[in-house]
Amino acid sequence: MTISRRQFVSTLAGASAASLASPGLSFAQGSGPIRVGLLAAKTGPLASGGIDMELALTMFLKDRDNTLAGRKVELIVADTAGVPATARTKTQELVEKNNVHCIIGPLAAFEALAIIDYLTEKEIPTLGVSAAEDMTQRHPSPWYVRLTSTSAQCTYPLADYSLKELKYKKIVTIADDFAYGHEMCAGFQRAFEDGGGKIIQKIFTPLATPDYGSYVAQVKTDADALFLGTAGSNGFRFLRQFIEYGLKDKIAVIGGMTALDESVLRNMGDEALGIITTSWYSATLDNPLNKAFAPAFRKQFKYDPGYYAASTYLSGQVLEGALKTIKANAEDKKALMAAIRGNNVDTIRGLVKFDEFGNVIGNVYIRKVTRSDGRLVNSVIKTYPDVSQFWTYDKKEFLKNPVYSRDYPPAKNLEL
């Protein structure tokens, strides 16, 4: 990708010199390509997700001959390194130096939070991937939409499924000790306890935990199931130790949208079989668009696309839909944003709609790890259609409460 980036820079040297002198310069429609910025962490601890984001979006554009709605598209990828201050500088580079028309990404909540004020000020349509609840709740931005899910959005259906189909009564949650983990567990806990279940223990582990042994030993074995709210490779590492301690036969495991992501699953063996997770996507989704995407991705890169790859491909589809509506006039940013929000686009995850806060209303899938063609896959066992970030709760009441955190909503059923 470095090369294409360099080529892009050299071909645009003249134009960027002009834009250097007058940064506000905007091109008339058709006089240049649509410039799309991708913010992805390609170095640092979040790199594997960031690289998948780039691969999938590049593939999306390549399949369309780098043309959306009849106009050429230039993709400019910036590496945020998973650091908020760097994310901000890189965003400024995309906006001020490269004059992008819209931005896809970034991945981590703290990266998105670091740049959202700036993007709102500069009025750049942003198709977000990160999950921080408040970005589409108490502090929404007119220039930000999220196409994936909030931290908790996918856990509500799982809580419902755990109560009604799996008949679980007592659950232990374990998650990474940062905002994403807190929000996810809080959402799961709320829906699970409102339905009559009990969260008897909540464990939060540091993001970089070299050894899960001491945490595994803490797990209360009288629970019906363990909810795994980890991100990245942590789920895989936790589970390995969980099995070594012989707990797998005692407690069932269920997980959030990143716990057994396809990118984690490819490193696992039979120990993962039967684990139930929830997500807005699965590589095995049976719709025509995903049937075109997932096998092609697999053919090219030798593994199934997961959360991160799907997120940018999905962004590409939503962007394409909006560009068709406004006849590729990406210079009219207000119209572009209105089209993004107003369109109901059919995508690899199913139909995508937005609520008034810019958050997606879409299908959430309950998935079970099975073996198919010799590899582990997340096969869909139940679909919850059109899940909103507010689940079945009243929107106004929901927003009156504080944002989900480590301590909110309070866990009343903990067993000491």
Residues engaged in binding other proteins (CB under 8 A): 1-2, 5-6, 9, 19-21, 23, 42-43, 78-79, 81, 83-86, 88-90, 92-93, 96-97, 109-110, 113-118, 132, 134, 139, 177-180, 182, 405-407
Least Å distance, CB 97 to other proteins, is: 4
CA-CA distances (angstroms) from residue 62 to 43, 170, 218, 220, 320? 24, 48, 49, 50, 13
Residue 42 or 349: the one with the smaller Cβ distance to other proteins is 42
Least Å from the CB of residue 96 to other proteins = 4
What letter does residue 138 receive in the DSSP assignment? T
Nearer to other proteins, 71 or 333 (CB): 333
Beta carbon of residue 300, minimum distance to other proteins (angstroms, whole number): 19
Residues in CB range of 61: below 8 A, 6 or more apart: 68, 73, 75, 316
Minimum distance, C-beta of residue 1 to other proteins, in the bound complex (Å): 7
- DSSP H or E stretch at residue 368: strand 360-372
Q: Which is nearer to other proteins, 99 or 315 (CB)?
A: 99
Q: Is the Cβ of residue 47 or residue 268 nearer to other proteins in the bound state?
A: 47
Task: Specify the residue, 41 or 265, whose C-beta has the smaller distance to other proteins.
Answer: 41
Cα–Cα nearest to 86, from 109, 105, 114: 114
Strand ranges in 96-217 using DSSP code E only, listed in sequence order: 102-104, 126-128, 144-146, 170-176, 198-205
Closer to other proteins by Cβ: residue 2 or 31: 2
Q: CA–CA separation, 82 vs 46, rounded Å?
A: 6
E strand or H helix at 68: strand 67-68
Instruction: Kindly tell me which of 114 and 294 has the beta carbon lying closer to other proteins.
Output: 114
- Quick one: tokens of 324? 């068709």
Q: Per DSSP, what are the bridge partners of residue 35?
A: 74
* Least spacing, CB of residue 207 vs other proteins, in Å: 9
Listed in order, strand segments (DSSP E) in 94-247 are 102-104, 126-128, 144-146, 170-176, 198-205, 225-229
First-to-last CA distance in the chain?
A: 52
Nearer to other proteins among residue 353 and residue 409 (C-beta):
409
Select 111 or 261, whichever has its Cβ closest to other proteins: 111
CA distance 57 to 255: 27
Tokens for 131, please give them: 């999950």
Task: For the CB of residue 98, give the shortest distance to other proteins in the complex, in Å.
Answer: 9
CA–CA gap between residue 40 and residue 311 (Å, rounded): 12
CB of 399 to other proteins, least distance (A): 17
Q: How far is the CB of 322 from other proteins (least distance, A)?
A: 27
Minimum CB separation from other proteins for residue 259, in Å?
18
Q: What angle do CA 270, 271, 275 make, to 5 degrees?
A: 105
